[in-house]
């Protein structure tokens, strides 16, 4: 299957997981297009001051692949800065959150595996 960018849906969600501001999601694939294996496959954009609030993963898991910018991540209680090329994996009941405190937008791929 090839899916063109113009076939993908963009949505803006406020206060994702009780985070700040509005987060833009470009939904790359719908759950049914992954044979039900992936709950989320999205390119996410966080403008300055926007965040995805702290939330757990288990029995599912989430992978963030940072492609642009610099973000602050709460990785199961450990606060770190991540930038383009970094990968965050959260599963097994662990929690995470991510925030953009910089001028440059943060872009990442978010993949939630069932």
Go through the domains of the chain in sequence order and give each one's CATH number. Answer: 5-113 (2.60.120.10)
Question: Looking at residue 2, what is its pLDDT?
Answer: 97
Q: Give 101's Cβ-side CA count (13 Å radius).
A: 7
Per-residue pLDDT of the chain in tens (114 residues, 90 and over written 9):
999 999 999 999 999 999 999 999 999 999 999 999 999 999 999 999 999 999 999 999 999 999 999 999 999 999 999 999 999 999 999 999 999 999 999 999 999 999
pTM, rounded to two decimals: 0.96
Q: Return all residues near 96 (Cβ < 8 A) that are at least 6 apart.
A: 54, 55, 57, 62, 64, 73, 74, 75, 76, 88, 90
Q: Specify the pairing of strand 61-68 against strand 22-27.
A: unpaired
Are 73 and 55 in contact, with CB atoms under 8 Å apart? no
Quick: pLDDT tens for 40-51.
999 999 999 999
């Amino acid at each position: 299957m090839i899916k063109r960018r113009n076939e993908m849906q963009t949505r803006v969600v406020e206060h994702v997981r009780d985070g700040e501001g509005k987060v833009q999601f470009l939904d790359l694939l719908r759950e049914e297009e992954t044979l039900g294996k992936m709950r989320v496959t999205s390119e996410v954009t966080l403008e300055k001051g926007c965040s995805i609030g702290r939330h757990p993963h288990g029995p599912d898991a989430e992978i963030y692949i940072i492609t642009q910018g610099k973000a602050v991540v709460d990785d199961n209680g450990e606060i770190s800065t991540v930038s383009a090329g970094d990968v965050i994996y959260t599963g097994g009941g662990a929690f995470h959150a991510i925030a953009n405190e910089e001028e440059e937008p943060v872009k990442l791929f978010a993949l939630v595996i069932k």
